[in-house]
Amino acid sequence: MVKENWTTANIRINLMKEIKKTIESDVGKKSGLTNPNQFVDTAIRDLINKLESKRFSHQNTYDDKVRILDNKIGKMGDIVTIFLRDEFKKGFCDYCESESCVHVKYMWELKDVVKILKKRGFHSPYD
Ligand SMILES: [Zn+2]
């Protein structure tokens, strides 16, 4: 029976054996992953994050804005602008009209940008 808020996916028996073996190994124990569900959840999230990060690329940073190319907008991708609002200490995406969209999330993954934002007292909605 499937737990509430869960669904099933088929995994090859050999892969499941590898997952269990990895969880039980020293490296697996250090990872904190204690069961196959947790392992698969983490692996899939990491892959989604990896694929999502290819979706975006940082274009430039100005005093008042950060510009990010989003390859999922339109056929060729488009640039979104995140305005840096000093009065709120937050970034605001013009495309999503949001302070907490995928573009703002990506901006907070850019180490060089984060350094500047933190110096200016900005805070991430993802902390
Ligand atoms: Zn956005």
> Are residue 111 and residue 66 in the same domain, yes or no?
yes
The Å distance, Cα 105 to ligand 1 centre, comes to: 9
Euclidean distance between CA atoms 106 and 104, whole angstroms: 5
Position 5 in a domain:
no
- Ligand 1 mean position, distance from CA 125 (Å): 13
Are 72 and 90 members of one domain?
yes
- Supply the pLDDT for residue 68: 97
78 shares its domain with 109: yes
pLDDT of residue 112: 94
Q: Which two tokens stand for residue 42?
A: 């983490």
Confidence (pLDDT) at 122: 95
pLDDT-above-70 percentage for the chain:
100
Instruction: Work out how many domains the chain is built from and give that number.
Output: 2
User: Which amino acid is present at 82?
Assistant: I
18 CA distance to ligand 1 middle (Å)? 38
d(CA 40, ligand 1 centre) in Å: 28
What is the secondary structure of 5-64 as a DSSP string?
T-------HHHHHHHHHHHHSHHHHHHT--SHHHHHHHHHHHHHHHHHHHHEEEEEE-SS
* Rg over CA atoms, the chain: 19
Question: Whole-model pTM?
Answer: 0.62
* Cβ atoms of 121 and 89 closer than 8 Å: yes
How high is the mean pLDDT of the chain? 93
- pLDDT, tens digit, for every residue of 59-81? 999 999 999 999 999 888 999 99
Range of the domain at 49: 13-53
